[in-house]
Each structure stands twice: as C-alpha cells, then as structure tokens.
C-alpha cells in the first residue's frame, strides 16, 4: 500500500455522492417540467396553470366575467391568478429541493443547486 493514499476511498465516495446528487438534480429538473400547479383568483373565476418551474401553460377564464365595463377587474383577476400560480410553483420547487437535500442527507437549509 502506498503511504498517503488512505483518504482515496473517502475521495471516491465523495465523488460518487457528488455524481449521485447531480443525477438527482437533473431528474428533479425534468420532474419539475411535468408537475403543475394552479393559481386562482376571483373565487375561481380565473385559473392559471403553470409548471413547477413557473412556466405558464394554461389560463381558464369563466365567461361570466366578460363585461366590457369590467375590463380592469378582469385584467386584475388574470394578473392575480398568474401571480398565484407562480407563487405555488416556487413553493413546489422549494418542496422538491428540500426533499432531495433530505434524501441525500444534507442539511435541510442547504441551498441547491450550488
């Protein structure tokens, strides 16, 4: 045995752990594209759907709110629904990140990706 290489096993384990983490992060990124959240406003009159990454994918507007004199209200409801969907997407992403850090045995408050 060559003296001074005793830590090589530790380095190999660290490299494998880093590779595993990278693989998990790539899988999570792909999963976040598939996860969707829906934000609402106006008691469900306007619904915005987004991926967990925050990309808006759908907008559902109840036709009863299309009154010309209420244009500004409709615009506000749409904006509120989109913002709600984005907020929910951010929460979902943070939940997934926390789950991965916990699965990897890392501190819960560790920010990923590095």
What does the pLDDT read at residue 57?
A: 93
Domains for the chain: give ranges and CATH numbers: 33-103 (3.30.1310.10)
What does the pLDDT read at residue 26?
A: 87
Q: What are the per-10-residue average pLDDT scores of the chain (114 residues)?
A: 58 82 84 90 94 90 91 93 94 86 72 56
Decide: helix, strand or coil at residue 112.
Answer: coil
Of residues 77, 93, 101, the one with CA closest to residue 37: 93
């Amino acid at each position: 045995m060559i003296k001074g290489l005793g830590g090589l096993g530790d380095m190999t384990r660290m490299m494998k752990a880093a590779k595993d983490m990278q693989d998990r992060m790539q899988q999570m990124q792909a999963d976040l594209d598939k996860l969707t959240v829906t934000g609402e406003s106006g008691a469900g009159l306007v619904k915005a759907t987004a991926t967990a990454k925050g990309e808006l994918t759908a907008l559902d507007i109840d036709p009863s709110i299309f009154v010309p004199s209420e244009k500004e209200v409709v615009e506000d409801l749409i904006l509120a629904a989109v913002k709600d969907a984005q907020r929910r997407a951010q929460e979902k992403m943070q939940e997934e990140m926390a789950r991965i850090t916990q699965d990897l045995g890392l501190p819960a408050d560790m920010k990923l990706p590095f």
